[in-house]
Structure 1
Amino acid sequence: MAEAAGGMAVAVEYVGAVAAAVASVHWSWWFSHIAALVYWPVSVIMAPLSFIGRVVLAILSPGIYVASFFVFAGKGVVGFLISLEFGVAALVGSLTGLTVALTSTLLTSQLGLQDSPNDKFYHLSQRKKGLYAPYNNKARYRDMSAPTSSSDDTLQRRDGWGKLRQQQQQQQQRHRRRFDGMGARVTSAGLLSQTIHEEDD
């Protein structure tokens, strides 16, 4: 144990002596002298190179300024186009939609593809839009019999009613001229009240 303790004391003394020797060295002085020794040849080499560089820069400065002007102008144009990217996309979409709508309208009008009021799908689409209302016979009769300021419409409606009455009278006359097997004439008041008497065999 005594020998181990003596060895540890010697090691500690040795480490302390080395640390004291390292601390006694003036490291800042040495580093400053080393930096001065390295900088002196570099400064000797860089002095003529810097002079040559300034001369070359003075000679090429007009071209450099012109090139920098075009570079900044190009950057400005590119930035402007990038900022208008969404605007251009919206404009292209609007023009495309307008073109498609006009083309569809022209084709529909030229080919006669408009929806007819008598079409089942037309009524369904109008009912979904809330624009369709059933058009019954009473409403049709009121529309046809309603007075209008236009004499042409009135004449056309009168002609239509006259033709319809003539057709009804002709049909009633045809049905009234029917006879049964015994020769007895069957009279009827109209299409719905007409009865046909058949002969009993």
Structure 2
Amino acid sequence: SSLQLSQIIDHLTENKYSRDGALKLLEKEGLLPKNMIPKVKEEKPESRFASQAAQDAADATMLDFSECQGTSKNGKITVKDVKDFAASKVKKVNASPAAVTYAKDHGLNLEEVTATGKDGKITIQDVKKFAAPEEKKAKKPKLSPGALKLAKQWQLDEDDLAEVKPTGSGDTIKKSDLKELVEAAKEAWAAEETDEDLGTDSDA
């Protein structure tokens, strides 16, 4: 009867089995119909958690840590777990320690650097060349004596002179090459002097 079954279940529960386990045992022994087995809702595992320091480390790396595995008690994620996970997500670059340090100090991405070292290793020379390639280096303009005097007179710097197309031998900038630049400088100086004069009049 149901009363006897209830007593048996209570007895099993008190001695060894949980109520669910007792019901399953009775079912196995043929003492309880399957349709009388209550459906037990499966409990979801406790959500993973991390220490505050680990959370801060995760935020700093801006990586998705949904796959990060905790190694401490109860699966708790530690700072070491975060660092190891971040390291696993970073593509390994074959570079010398000096190259890595230089790239880090100058905010350079080693994945964009062309390696010339043995076995495809990136050297510090490779990183320096990437940071300031020869083709990007501005050549210091060569000026004739007359052009040099004119440049000093109108305070023309290398950036100004870099826009001038030299017509002298050996790419030398001649005095005549600075005509347009000098005219522009004269206009700028004249405008500045006018502004100063107007300012003086208004103060008077």
TM-score (norm 1): 0.25
More helix by share: 1
TM-score (norm 2): 0.24
* Higher Rg of the two aligned structures: 1
- The structure whose RCO (Cα within 8 Å, separation 6+) is larger is 2
